[in-house]
Amino acid sequence: MLRGKLILLLSWCLLAFNALASNDIKDVRVWPTSASTRVVFDLKNAPEFTYFTLSNPHRLVIDLADTRSDTPLKLDNTGSLLNKVRYSTPKNKASTRVVIELARKAETSLFAVPPADNLGHRLVVDLLDSAPQSSGVVLDMNQSSRDRDIIVAIDAGHGGKDPGSIGPAGTYEKNITLSIAKMLEDRINKEAGMRAVMTRNGDYYISPNKRPEVARQHKADLLISIHADAFTQPEPRGGSVWVLSMRRADSELGRWLEKTERHSELLGGAAEVISDNASERYLAETILGLSMDHSMSTSYDLSKKVISELKGVTRLHKRSPQAASLAVLTAPDIPSILVEVGFISNPQEEKNLNWSKYRQQLADAMFSATKRYFEQTPPDGTLWASRKAENRTHKVRSGESLSLLAQRYNVKVSSIKRANNLTSDMVRIGQVLTIPST
């Protein structure tokens, strides 16, 4: 009899103890990329949490209130940033403490996500790598630093807890933008001398301000952000392309200049040897101003080409580039455009955007415009710049000779003759000559 009472008492205590904790970790998942890592905890109920970071070694500590869990936290394919996820001694008996061990410092962002898309409550942890890893290609130290790829950052608008606009038939903008972004990524990666990087490659949220940071970490030459427009009425339709407004550009310049710790991003090693703060600020202001001017000029030129290509696929809502204060376009050193592929609030355009072939045509239009732009003005040090230098041409005008052209382009007469299979020094007016690289 006594034994039965003890068992009953122990059972009651166990139930009472578990009642103290209303939440439970059901599973943990991870998505590593070269620039960031996302960790998702699947929970029984909405989480109440606090967190803090530690260094030496770097750790993120999360305290989940009213939570008791013994779910294993073993993960595969954690990437290079995340070392381990484990439990630690909790603050009290009714809470759970989780420690995320990191290989290096990372910027952290934590937020709860309510149930959606057949998934329950979640706690999402985004870790932005302070030293993103390269693609893993080992370069020969004797190889020239020239002939690198042109890097295009592709930003699929919205994601995760932010669905973006929702069409009349229930289509989420975040799904349309990610699909088009992946199609554009595929086209770019198939082009020799170009490489695409994605700000997000799955259904998760990244704040608009962090998207340019991902592009910068990958040293992108261009950022293309993809969105779908919406309006309160169903009639508006058509695509448009947006660039940063001058007013936002000016305020962004001031914001960067006030953050002296970021001057090294603009000045490189020069910032370390400039001891005069006033001189450093003046130099940073000059470089940043020139960089912003170039970025905005490039953005505008490219946006006109994108509009030219889009009009062959869809109706245009705006036939010229539009300017706005958009956070995703604020990188002062990276040309950036935002493409609205249509109005998802228009029933016909929503139907079009749900058609895979149509999305591919939109991606192809953006790719063609990007390719056209970089063929004309390839970034220095890229394979395309090298190609263009090797394939320079010159149309001979009155009074010009081989010796004059050799002097103008800083090449040898014999090199021009060899490149054009010439047997004499004679050239004729109107003749098109290939000018070899120096």
pLDDT exceeds 90 at position 187: yes
Residue 263: the pLDDT is 43
Residue 438: the pLDDT is 59
Residue 93: the pLDDT is 86
CA nearest 159: which of 208, 114, 232, 125? 208
Average pLDDT estimate for 97-118: 85
Domain 150-379 maps to which CATH number in 3.90.1150.10, 3.90.870.10, 3.30.70.270, 3.40.630.40?
Answer: 3.40.630.40
Instruction: List the CATH code of the domain at 16-129.
Output: 2.60.40.3500
Residue 68: the pLDDT is 84
**C-alpha to C-alpha distance for 164 and 172, rounded to whole angstroms:** 7
Model confidence band, residue 352 (pLDDT cutoffs 50, 70, 90) = very high
Model confidence band, residue 292 (pLDDT cutoffs 50, 70, 90) = low
**C-alpha to C-alpha distance for 102 and 115, rounded to whole angstroms:** 28
Which of 1-5, 30-34, 385-389 shows the lowest mean pLDDT across its residues? Answer: 1-5
pLDDT exceeds 50 at position 270: no
Q: What is the DSSP letter of 137?
A: P
**C-alpha to C-alpha distance for 222 and 184, rounded to whole angstroms:** 13
Q: Is 218 exposed, middle or buried (0-12, 13-18, 19+ CB in 10 A)?
A: buried
Residue range 391-435 forms a domain whose CATH class is: alpha beta
CA nearest 381: which of 52, 49, 144, 62? 144
pLDDT exceeds 60 at position 9: no
Domain locations in the chain? 16-129, 150-379, 391-435
pLDDT in tens, 32-65: 877 788 888 999 898 888 999 998 899 999 999 9
Lookup: tokens for 49:
């949490």
Q: Which residues contact 414 (CB under 8 A, 6 or more apart)?
A: none
Residue 256: the pLDDT is 47
With vertex at residue 99, the alpha carbon angle to CA 93 and CA 43, rounded to the nearest 5 degrees, is 65
**C-alpha to C-alpha distance for 29 and 199, rounded to whole angstroms:** 19
Lookup: tokens for 192:
């020799």
Residue 261: the pLDDT is 44
Q: Strand 82-88 relative to strand 96-102: parallel, antiparallel, unpaired?
A: antiparallel
Q: Which residues contact 207 (CB under 8 A, 6 or more apart)?
A: 109
| pLDDT, the chain, mean | 79
Q: Alpha helix (H) ranges present in 311-401?
A: 347-353, 356-376, 383-390
**C-alpha to C-alpha distance for 224 and 182, rounded to whole angstroms:** 12
Average pLDDT estimate for 228-253: 76
Average pLDDT estimate for 219-234: 90
- Please spell the DSSP secondary structure of 77-135, one letter per residue: --TTTEEEEEEE--SSTT-EEEEEEESS-EEEEEEEE-SBTTB-EEEEEEEEESS----
Q: Strand 150-156 relative to strand 194-198: parallel, antiparallel, unpaired?
A: parallel
pLDDT in tens, 300-322: 889 899 999 999 999 998 888 88
Q: Which residues contact 162 (CB under 8 A, 6 or more apart)?
A: 174, 205
Selected residue with higher pLDDT from 147 and 231: 231
pLDDT exceeds 80 at position 386: no
Peptide bond into 57 cis (omega under 30): yes
Question: Are the folds of 16-129 and 391-435 the same?
Answer: no
